[in-house]
Chain A
Amino acid sequence: MSDQTVSALALTELPSKRSFFKPHRIVLIVLAALIVFSVVWFMRWDWVPKYSGRLAYGIGVTLLMLASTSILGFLLAVPIGLVQVTGPWPLKMLARGFCTIIRGTPLLLQLWLLYYGLGSLFPQFPEIRNSFLWPYLREAWPYGVAALTISFAAYEGEVMRGAFAGVPKGELEAARAYGMSPFTAFRRIWLPRAVHRALPTLTGETVLQLKATPLVATITVIDVYSVISKVRQETFITYEPLLLLALIYLCLTAILVVGFRWFENHIPTRGA
């Protein structure tokens, strides 16, 4: 996916605060305030205190899912990108096939394939239940982590492929001329330069990953989305919980964007 598309899909910059006090904006702000007020006043929010603890827990799970799968996915993306640029052809084909398949099918389907598909194998292979992995295979979250990690790795793997390929040849030749071994050159020059080049895409990819996390609720992982679903089922309120959920994701996205901006400003020689 090109950088341009990612930024069209995921919020990567907060709307700048060009003067907020143009006349028409003041009118719009007043209108928005009125809408917010009537939403707060006329809709039902009495359930919020009762569920606040569970909501906080759910947000924690969502963030944990996001952080772990983004980091794991990025670590996987590096070799996937690398072998597509320099690997032997079987590995190259393998990595390319992996990216095509994962990017060509819906994440929801992959998730259900992993959770219910693998789950349907367990009764046929009783050995699995006696293995040391069984306590984890019983739970739902490993499947959620696996599916989200794989998806992130496939999308970011494409980015890394471009990043590895885009490091100027001269820099690598210079490293060789210094007598660096291929591994040292990779560790000191190629990898850091490629990661640098890929960093600007990370904001968008991470926001996209955040937007993908609620899918794990469909396999019984209790994230913030699933807590809200529970509120809807228990209270029979249709819209209010969903509005709160949208607001929560809006805030999480904003925090992510601000956080990444801060990081980018503190990493010297960004891009190139």
Chain B
Amino acid sequence: MKTALKTFALAAALGLAAVSGAAAQQVRVGFAAEPYPPFTSPDASGNWEGWEVDFMKAICAEAKLDCVVTPVAWDGIIPALTSNKIDMIVGSMSITAERLQTIDFSDKYYNTPTAVIGPKGVDFEATPEGLAGKTIGVQVATVHQVYANKYFGEAGATVKEYQTQDEANNDLAAGRIDAVQADSIALNDFLKTEQGAACCEMKGNVKDDVDILGAGVGVGLRKGDTELKDKVNAAIKAIRANGTYDEFSKKYFDFDIYGG
């Protein structure tokens, strides 16, 4: 019977390896498996679209990489990178000192301020005093979660953490929370939707804190994967220089998303 057991174990292991072994040297690009317009969102035909998808395609073409999109849950995207399920993260991930302890980043590819939105008809400012006593929604494992806990949570706000940005927005529209803190572009995009326009408005940008909010968004990479990092950095530089970056950005924004 023990041989039977071993055979089963072996067959199972081989089965797994066989399914997977054949692939060539591909680069698996991790996206957060959730709608995050206008950066990455799934469309009705099962493809991904948005500014960051165009960006990913541009750098993969530039660096001649065979990129495969691999959706991963946002709160598990760093473990997915470190445990080798994906090779890079293109997920609007801010470059912060905290994350740099675990993973590596390319140079930044965009940088935008952080903002707070709230329901119409309720006046408050995006400051610790303005949000005291309110419930503020953020996405888990983001810089916004850290920031909101530090500045607003300390000042008496309740911070509620959501798996996806979309769910935080939805609960704001439902009236379950009083405010949402996130990237200003993503929030502006939400305010342009029917649901967002009906319920909510911009309350303003939060005071910057580079230590927490980071100095821009970069491609997340495994530590020690310098070959890929060099390729990605060179590609970012190249698409910035040859106009590709501006070209696809114009489709989405009427301002310079790259930031200062």
Partner-B contacts on A (CB < 8 A) = 116, 119-120, 122-123, 129, 137-140, 218, 220, 229-230, 232-233, 236, 238
Contact = CB atoms under 8 A, between A and B. Distances in A.
B141 interface: yes
Interface string B141-161: 100010000000000000011
A180 B82 CA distance: 70
Given A233-B140, A233-B141, A238-B83, A120 B174 contact: yes
A112 to B, nearest CB: 9
- Range, interface on chain B: 20 to 34
Contacts, number: 47
Given A119-B176, A123-B173, A238-B82, 16 more contacts: A116-B167, A119-B170, A119-B171, A119-B174, A122-B176, A123-B175, A138-B176, A220-B161, A220-B162, A229-B140, A230-B140, A230-B161, A233-B141, A236-B98, A236-B99, A238-B79
Contacts of B163: 218
Most buried by A among B174, B198, B199: B174
A236 B103 CA distance: 10
A116 B170 contact: yes
Contact of B75 (A119, A140, A233): A233
A218 B73 CA distance: 12
B160 A220 contact: yes
Contacts of A140: 176
Query: Dominant SS at the B interface?
Result: helix
Contacts of B162: 220
A229 B199 CA distance: 31
Contact of A129 (B99, B160, B170, B175): B175
Contacts of B145: 233
Nearest to B145: A233
B101 interface: yes
A116 B174 CA distance: 9
B223 to A, nearest CB: 12
25 contacts: A119-B174, A119-B176, A120-B173, A120-B174, A122-B174, A123-B175, A123-B195, A129-B175, A137-B176, A138-B175, A139-B176, A140-B176, A220-B160, A220-B161, A220-B162, A229-B140, A232-B75, A232-B79, A233-B75, A233-B141, A236-B78, A236-B98, A236-B102, A238-B79, A238-B83
Interface in B185-223: 195, 198-199
